[in-house]
Structure formats: structure tokens, C-alpha cells
Structure 1
Amino acid sequence: MPNNKIDHFAIGADTLEQGILALKTTLGVDVPRGGKHDAMSTHNCVMQSGNESFFELIAIDPDAPADPGRARWFTLDDPVTQVRLLERPRALCWVVGTDDLDAVIAASPVELGEVVLFTRGDRSWRLTVPKDGSLPMQGLLPAFIEWSPGPHPSTGQQDLGVTLEAVHLRYPDPAALSKTLVALGVDHLAQIHEGDMTLSFELNTPNGSVILD
């Protein structure tokens, strides 16, 4: 069985400036600027979130080509998502790191998307990305990532006292969702609750316990 753990989680924003300002109020920290994703025309801010994982604030990059040649990840091209992000930053996706991405895909009972290779400097990573930019089960199922050998990227990021305490998944049929998570080998990484489809992250922050959804 592959060794799977939470790698990072993505909070979407209409703009990085909007996200930074809103999260400073909510979390009590300024999320530091990260980098650009040329293949997706997006950019981000990142910080450590405990246990070799990181918090990612992501938005469409206004200085990048308007059409990257494919749908952006995390539903950022979806008009529904864009309207929601105008209101405030939103939880979009959780990403699970694995040491055997091919095995995860082979065992998956659902379509996770194509495997796309990304590079930045001397590091590369393979990530599951649906071609249409959608998220499996609207983000309740994670994306999967496999990094090239080397230290986890979070080790080079700032630790501002924000840690991920839990990933919460709400779904009308918890048993069915649990069965899928077991097949993916990630059932130990999230808490499932009955309710309307919702992804949220429980964080410990300088402002206390915070839920981002």
C-alpha cells in the first residue's frame, strides 16, 4: 500500500491581495508570497501547516497569459467558483502526497484525472489534474501528488504558527464516501460527517481555532 499523507491544502481567492487581507483577519498572519505556475496561469502564497505539510492560497495570475492552453486546476475557471471567490476565500482542495502515484491511480474506484508533470527549479512533481479543471466529488476527494526526491517543500517555507488540525468532509451518504476513501488509502486523513457536500479545514492559528470552508 502506498504511503499517503496530507501534503498541502488549497484555499482559493479572487486575487491574492484579497486573500492575504481576508486571511490576515481570520488567521492573524500574513501568508507569504510563493511562486507562479506557468502551466496554469496561477500564482500562490504558502506557509507551513505542520507535519511537513503546507497551506496554499491560490488565485489566477493577472500577469500571466489569460489562456494557459488548458483548464486551470481547482475549478478556478468555473464561473460558480469565481462568484464564490468574489465573496471571500474558499476551501477548494486537499492534496495527498504519495510515494506511489501509479498504484493509487490503479486502485482508485473513481477517475482522478490525468497525471501532469510540473517542474520548478531542480524539483518536479506529478499531480492528478482532471482535464476539465474539475475536482473529484467537488473536492471531497483529494488530488494526489508525488514529489521528486528531496526535502518536502514545506521545509523551506515560513512557520507562522498555523497548523492543520483536521480535514472535514460533509456528504449525504457518509458510508459511501468512506468506502471510496478506504479504496484510495486516505480514510485516516479526513473526518466524514453527514450533510450537504462541503469541504472544510480546521486550523489552529494565532487567532485560535478557525474553520475555513
Structure 2
Amino acid sequence: MLELDHIAVLGGTLAEAVTHVEAALGLPMGAGGRHARYGTHNRLIGLAPQVYLEAIAIDPQAPAPDDARWFGLDSFDGPARLDKWIARVPDIDAAIAALPMAGRRVDLERDGLRWSMAVPEDGRQPFDGMFPALIQWHVAIPPGRSLPASGLVLEQLVVVHPEAPALAAVLAPHLAAPLVSFQTASRPGLRASLSGPEGPCQL
């Protein structure tokens, strides 16, 4: 089954992505790291219940990969925004067999973390980026459980797309993520509702 693992804010630069997150949430993001395989870098903040938020962008100091970067970052433009959601699976190979549109398996690691992801050949998720990226962690305690608590709770993630019913139907047999809902609208996007010590906030 697919369970919600984390959500990602993309930016033209990491500073732009972090600024967007911190302005919306009113809290500082924690440290992250670099992904040599895709030439990207990130910063993280933990959310309840056992999920987290990632700010990610192309790392200008890293060499470009031989193929397309993940999350469609090669073609990302415009302001920083919540743009991707990532679903955790117990077996990445079985998940790709069931949902081949998710992409090919890529094994990754950084700073003691090891994981596998399904990445499309062109780096761009189906349904205009609104199809979840699939991840299998190969560590005992993934970041959603190991990151310090921020006091923020993810209450709902809305996946918006002109063909939202079709996307929901593709995922329905596999998705076990009660916080995720789907909404039909002319422009694709994501909307997250959170709560914390200072009250509600949105991304």
C-alpha cells in the first residue's frame, strides 16, 4: 500500500523554497543535505503524524546528472510552491509493477540514509506532476519518525487536477492515506492544511 511519507516545496533556489515554507509556517526549517545522484539539495522540517516537509531545489554547486533530475526540477519555474507529494511503499519493485507510470527504480543514499525511489525517465511525475513519487526506505527509522517535532500537524493534503477523478481511480486500489483527498480544478496543484501552536496555516 501507498502511505503518505512527505510533501515537497520546490523552488528556483533552495533559499526561495525555504523562505516560502518559513513564511507560511512561521517556523524555521532544519538542516537537510545534498543528493549527488540528482544534483539537488534540501532542508527538512518534521510534521505530525510521522510525516515531514522538504524544501528542495537544484544545487548550483553540484554537477548536472547524466539524465533528468527528479521531481521535474529541470523544468520547474515560477515562484516556490508546494509541488510534490511522496508516498511510502513496503516494496518499491512491487509498487512499480502495479503502477508502472511511476517510473524506474533508482537507489539512493546520503548522510546515512538509504532509500529507493521510482523516477520517470524524464523526471516528471504523471498527471502534470500530481502523481505521487514512490519511495521505499532502507533504514530502520525514516525521517518522518526521526526528525525533531516541530509542533505542526498536517491535517489535510488536497491534490488538485483537471482529471482528479481519474488520478484518484488509478491510486484507489493502492492508497492508504486518509489525509489525502482529490479535487477537480482547471489548474493542477497541491494544497496542505496544517495546525500548530499558533493556529492554522496553509501551503
Q: Fold-level match, TM-score > 0.5?
A: yes
1:29-108 correspondence runs (5 A): 29-65=27-63, 67-78=64-75, 81-82=76-77, 84=78, 87=79, 89-108=80-99
How far 1:183 sits from its partner (Å)?
Answer: 3.3
Q: Distance in 2 between matches of 1:150 and 1:49?
A: 19
Q: Deviations over 1:54-77 (max 9, x none)?
A: 110001112111x22121111111
Aligned-pair identity (%): 32
- Cα-Cα RMSD: 2.0
Range moving further from structure 2, 6-15 or 176-185? 176-185
1:1-213 correspondence runs (5 A): 2=1, 4-65=2-63, 67-78=64-75, 81-82=76-77, 84=78, 87=79, 89-108=80-99, 111-186=101-176, 188-196=178-186, 197-212=188-203
Range moving further from structure 2, 154-163 or 24-33? 154-163
Please say if residues 172 and 195 of structure 1, whose CA atoms lie closer than 8 Å, have aligned partners that are also in contact. Answer: yes
* Aligned partner of residue 139 in structure 1, secondary structure: coil
Q: Deviations over 1:171-209 (max 9, x none)?
A: 334432221121333464521122122222222245532
Q: Distance in 2 between matches of 1:21 and 1:69?
A: 30
Q: Distance in 2 between matches of 1:8 and 1:64?
A: 24
* Aligned partner of residue 175 in structure 1, secondary structure: helix
Q: Distance in 2 between matches of 1:189 and 1:168?
A: 8
* Aligned partner of residue 183 in structure 1, secondary structure: coil
* Aligned partner of residue 127 in structure 2, secondary structure: helix
How far 1:164 sits from its partner (Å)?
Answer: 1.6
How far 1:49 sits from its partner (Å)?
Answer: 1.1
Change (3 A) 1:151 1:135: same
Please say if residues 52 and 152 of structure 1, whose CA atoms lie closer than 8 Å, have aligned partners that are also in contact. Answer: no
Q: Which residue identity lines up with residue 191 of structure 1 in the other structure?
A: S
Please say if residues 6 and 95 of structure 1, whose CA atoms lie closer than 8 Å, have aligned partners that are also in contact. Answer: yes
* Aligned partner of residue 104 in structure 1, secondary structure: helix
Q: Distance in 1 between matches of 2:83 and 2:166?
A: 21
Change (3 A) 1:155 1:125: same
Q: Which residue identity lines up with residue 107 of structure 2 in the other structure?
A: L
Q: Which residue identity lines up with residue 47 of structure 1 in the other structure?
A: I
In structure 2, the gaps of 5 or more residues are: none
In structure 1, the gaps of 5 or more residues are: none
TM-score (norm 2): 0.89
Q: Which residue identity lines up with residue 53 of structure 1 in the other structure?
A: V
